[in-house]
Structure 1
Amino acid sequence: MAPKRRGRNCCYICLAVILLLGLLFLILGLTVFKAKKPITTVNSVSLKDLDVSFDITRLQVHLNITLQADLSVKNPNRVGFKYDPTSATLQYKGQTIGDAPVPAGSIGARETSPMNITLTVMADRLLSTNGLFSDVRSGILPLTTYVKLSGVVRVIFKIHVKTSTTCDLYIDVLNRKLANQTCHYKTKL
């Protein structure tokens, strides 16, 4: 009878230890290792190239723009963040006129990773857009950049994260420089 009781007590103790360890991991996962949202920041957007010419007889504008966007993604988690390949887009009045690939990568725990993206306008897409002639003639060209990163933070289990950045840019065509920019950031766990 004593060996059965010892065996039963040993099983109860093992079960209690397993439950306590599970509870400890759950508490750590929900507090110390809780998944936090990665933060995407646009540090600067610069105009690398701007060539504009007018065809007054056809009321057309020939435009070539190259933008350099310097982004940084901060991972505030105590574990790494792996993101999938994506692309950054350049838009004019809601129509995509340029894009640049962003390769897959990872950001270590509590690190900030820089990303330099060069966006070039696809002139053939821009020619079919209404209002370009009047915007260029007014001297200000409104553009929008959009970057979305989707990835995984692994804390006990996988947590899917999506972070996006949208910047409204206003290019001073006459002085060939960036006149103003306003950025908006969203992150979803």
Structure 2
Amino acid sequence: MADGPIIPTTRPKRPRPPSGRTNLASCVVATIFLIFIIIVILIVYYTVFKPQDPKIAVNAVQLPSFSVINGTVNFTFSQYASVRNPNRAAFSHYDSSLEILYSGNQVGFMFIPAGQIDAGRTQYMAATFSVQSFPLSAPPNMGPTLANGDGVGFNFGLRVQPTMEIESKLEMAGRVRVLHFFTHRVKVRTGCRVAIAVSDGSVLGFHC
């Protein structure tokens, strides 16, 4: 019995691998796209989400108790402040403190508990603590006087009373995390000079 006709077969052609030029073009396009995304993120970060330092404002200073015995001062210090967070992310603060100085020496210190201030919000803080006893510098400063053209001091009949001056330093440290990727470390401080009447401990004024 005769065999049937032999039909020639052809091997399927293998697909040609992509050329080197195609790979290079793909890499260039991907790189340009990545650079574009990074530029957009940086623009948004520095225009909309750029971190800013919180703003501290001291609203009031009081001395609930005050006494002077044998030239030694003892009092309780109270300070009321507001802290505004201008960022679009929460401000987490820690390692914050309030320090009281007299004649350049520390006479009082208080740690401020850690906390968080939400984005765009203002938090009010009140700190009250006892200041350790310390001797008054002698002699205490007298009240404000004015001077005439010859430099001679006079007070126009105003009652002059001895005063003392202390300095308060409020410092807050923390961080602001933007877009869950960028962390901005923050350390802000404010200092106030407080004038106090030695006779009764009344606060004559303060300047921050």
For normalisation by structure 1, the TM-score amounts to: 0.79
Q: Are 2:58 and 1:42 aligned?
A: yes
Deviations 1:30-74 (A, max 9, x none): 111111121011011112111222x3xxxxx23221121011111
Secondary structure at the residue paired with 1:135?
Answer: coil
One-letter amino acid matched to 2:185 = H
1:134 counterpart (134, 139, 151): 139
5+ unaligned residues in a row in structure 1: which ranges? Answer: 56-60, 184-189
For normalisation by structure 2, the TM-score amounts to: 0.73
Distance in 2 (alpha carbons) for counterparts of 1:51 and 1:182? 23
Give RMSD over aligned pairs. Answer: 2.5
Secondary structure at the residue paired with 1:36?
Answer: coil
- Which residue is 1:24 aligned to? 40
Q: For the pair shown, which has the larger CA radius of gyration, 1 or 2?
A: 2
Alpha-carbon distance, 1:14 to partner:
4.2
Secondary structure at the residue paired with 2:140?
Answer: helix
Alpha-carbon distance, 1:10 to partner:
5.7
One-letter amino acid matched to 2:118 = G
Secondary structure at the residue paired with 1:21?
Answer: helix
C-alpha distance 164-2 of structure 1, shift in aligned 2 (>3 A): farther
Q: What number of residue pairs does the alignment pair up?
A: 172
- Which residue is 2:151 aligned to? none
- Which residue is 1:58 aligned to? none
- Which residue is 2:18 aligned to? 4
Runs of 4+ in 1 over 6 A off after TM superposition: none
Distance in 1 (alpha carbons) for counterparts of 2:38 and 2:17? 28
Relative to its length, the structure with more helix (as a share) is 1
1:145 counterpart (164, 168, 172): 168
5+ unaligned residues in a row in structure 2: which ranges? Answer: 1-14, 143-160
Contact 1:90 / 1:119 at 8 angstroms: preserved in 2? no
